[in-house]
Chain A
Amino acid sequence: SQQGEEDPQALSIQEGENATMNCSYKTSINNLQWYRQNSGRGLVHLILIRSNEREKHSGRLRVTLDTSKKSSSLLITASRAADTASYFCATDATGGFKTIFGAGTRLFVKA
């Protein structure tokens, strides 16, 4: 991808389980964002974490950021079938507004 890698590339879990996705990036950043995309549709913003933050929560979402390792993780707790989608991390490089996306994780939650 233009910025970094995400793993796993695909994840299949049962409803009620937690899903963890990881993202790595290459440059210094202002912030890291997570987006969700349902098949063939536009992206929806989930959460933004600034470079000086280490952890952030929003509902069932928990994001961590480790700038020393240039990595982030997204945890979705108590997953639902409706969480089935692709999840992308995206970064804004320091001093710029060029938003670059990671490769993405395809999550499938079985009911």
Chain B
Amino acid sequence: DTEVTQTPKHLVMGMTNKKSLKCEQHMGHRAMYWYKQKAKKPPELMFVYSYEKLSINESVPSRFSPECPNSSLLNLHLHALQPEDSALYLCASRPGPFATNEKLFFGSGTQLSVL
């Protein structure tokens, strides 16, 4: 299994809602990433987990809350989002933080719309 699976594929939420994005991989990868991508722009790094611990937080607002419950699963909890948070949210993984010449495996993303 060489896939990263993201659910849901599409999500529409109001500014007062709480929702979660889910990402799963069964490749034994120990580094997992969240990226945010606006239309016609490159992916922007949000968070990196290494061995289930948060290693990098790119000064992301607290209305985005990541969680890594186990080595296969990565969640992104959303609360009180703004319309400008509407974007494609991408999850990625790689074998490990010390495998520095390894590619990233991406999921197909969650297209989020905040109304």
- Which A positions have Cβ atoms within 8 angstroms of B? 1-2, 30-31, 33, 35, 40-45, 48, 50, 88, 90, 92, 96-104, 106
Contact = CB atoms under 8 A, between A and B. Distances in A.
Interface of B: 4, 6, 31, 33, 40-45, 48, 50, 56, 88, 90, 92, 94, 97-98, 100-101, 103-109, 111
Nearest to B43: A101
Contacts, number: 67
A101 B45 CA distance: 8
Nearest to B106: A42
Interface of B is mostly: strand
A58 B105 CA distance: 18
A44 B106 contact: yes
Nearest to A47: B103
Interface of A is mostly: strand
Given A97-B48, A97-B97, A99-B33, A43 B43 contact: yes
A10 to B, nearest CB: 10
B115 to A, nearest CB: 19
B104 A99 contact: yes
A28 to B, nearest CB: 13
